[in-house]
Structure 1
Amino acid sequence: MKNMFQNIPNDLSSEVFEDLIKHNDVRIERIISKGHSSPDQGWYDQEEHEWVMVLQGAGTLEFEDGSTQTLKAGDYLNIPAHTKHKVSWTDPDQITIWLAVFYRD
């Protein structure tokens, strides 16, 4: 058995991406952020849909159309494939733990 809130790396100078499960049509990932954001240039433009939930902390997603969504603990969002987005902010004062499920039709 594993726990989403354990084995947090001490070095969070970079955002941490960990595959928890990887299968042909689904991938589940834990993302650990602390004050991280996506690069100013470029967008995530994924082949898969992404269902994402914040388990701890908070973060803001920005979309190519200019809209934003701030998620805090317990909030989740489904991002359809090829919806261009990026992380514009994560809480710099506490660790943010995201659970992301990538899936195909």
Structure 2
Amino acid sequence: MMNIFADIPDQLPEEQFTNLCRGQNMRIERIVSHGHTSPTQGWYDQDADEWVIVLSGHARLEFENGGMQELSAGDYINIPTHVRHRVAYTDPDEITVWLAVFYLAVES
């Protein structure tokens, strides 16, 4: 058994990405942030859908279309494939732990 809050370092000079599980069409990743943001020049533009939940802390996502989404513990969002986005803010005073599930959507 593992714990999602285990092995979080006291100092985080860089955001921490840990693959927890990987399958044929999905990947589950833990992300740990502490005041980190995406590079100002770039956007995430992913080849998979991303369902993400903030487990602790606070964050703000910015979307290329101008939208913003505030996230606190328990808040989640689904980001469709190729929706360009970036992390505009994570709390500098508190560790933010995210759980991200990347998957290929099934068409109905």
**What TM-score comes out, normalization by structure 1 length?**
0.98
Distance in 2, Cα, partners of 1:28 & 1:38: 20
Could you tell me which runs of 5 or more consecutive residues in structure 1 were left unpaired when the two chains were aligned. Answer: none
For 1:71, the equivalent position in structure 2 comes to 71
For 2:37, the equivalent position in structure 1 comes to 37
Matched, 1:51 2:66: no
> After superposition, where does 1:1-16 map in structure 2 within 5 Å?
1-16=1-16
Q: What stretches of structure 1 move > 4 A for 4+ residues in a row?
A: none
What is the DSSP-based 3-state SS (H/G/I as helix, E as strand, rest coil) of the residue aligned with 2:7? Answer: coil
Could you tell me which runs of 5 or more consecutive residues in structure 2 were left unpaired when the two chains were aligned. Answer: none
Distance in 2, Cα, partners of 1:57 & 1:96: 4
Q: What count of residue pairs does the alignment treat as equivalent?
A: 105
**What TM-score comes out, normalization by structure 2 length?**
0.95
For 2:93, the equivalent position in structure 1 comes to 93
Q: CA RMSD in A?
A: 0.6
What is the DSSP-based 3-state SS (H/G/I as helix, E as strand, rest coil) of the residue aligned with 1:5? Answer: coil
